Amino acid sequence: MITPSKTVYKLSAFQYRYPCLNNARERDEFLTRYGAILAGAGVNFVDAASLTTALANTGVAVFPRGGIHWNSLTAAEATQVVIAKLNQLNPLLRIPPLAWTAYMSNVAHDSDRDLVDVLNLLRTNWYDRVPELTFTDAAACDRSISVAFVGGSFISQMAEMMAKIGCIDKVDHYFYLHVAHFRSPGAQQVGENLPTSDLFGLRADSGHMET
């Protein structure tokens, strides 16, 4: 998965100190070239960066003010695209899409304020209007499915969301930054990352995607 970067959407906070070429045309051209390289190498991928831009262009807030990662609504939309991609790669999966209702909350928590927390700002009442999602029961499916992600911190929310689908009994997230293995639901750490040689089984699955 090609994930977005908050700095792309908040250039005013960085660009005067770190001047660099960064405009919409250049970003689009980079993503087009990058996607072509991945496709040419036979790598299945989802371009969540362009998805995030498309949502932002409609006026949707895609990043919380006090957070590093995308908000729950953007993560849910990206998860929908991943589900559709997996079903396309392996039609036998028939993973049902997520369904949710959303409202705007004045209380930021978890990843909606992780930047505030990592900076150790002494603010317990950090104000930010952020989307809160309530997931409804997904349509039934005819098989039990296990999902494994190999990727970074943007995957954490998606793993928890996919674990809400009834026929997905577990979602493993092999997090390369901390070299840790998490399992959803619950995002509990269950061990260290598997060595590269042990990941071959994940790659052998039809319809796999590495992020």
Count of residues making up the chain: 211
- The Cα–Cα gap between 31 and 22 comes to 13
Strand-pairing partners, residue 191, are 181
- The pLDDT tens digits for 63-87 are 888 787 889 999 999 999 999 999 9
Residue 136 pLDDT more than 70? yes
Amino acid (1-letter code) at residue 26: E
pLDDT of residue 211: 44
Contact call for residues 48 and 75 (beta carbons, < 8 A)? no
- The Cα–Cα gap between 166 and 96 comes to 9
Domain ranges across the chain? 6-204
Give CA torsion, residues 68, 58, 89, 168, to 10 deg.
60
- The Cα–Cα gap between 131 and 191 comes to 32
Amino acid (1-letter code) at residue 172: D
End-to-end CA distance of the chain: 4
Strand-pairing partners, residue 103, are 132
Residue 37 pLDDT more than 90? yes
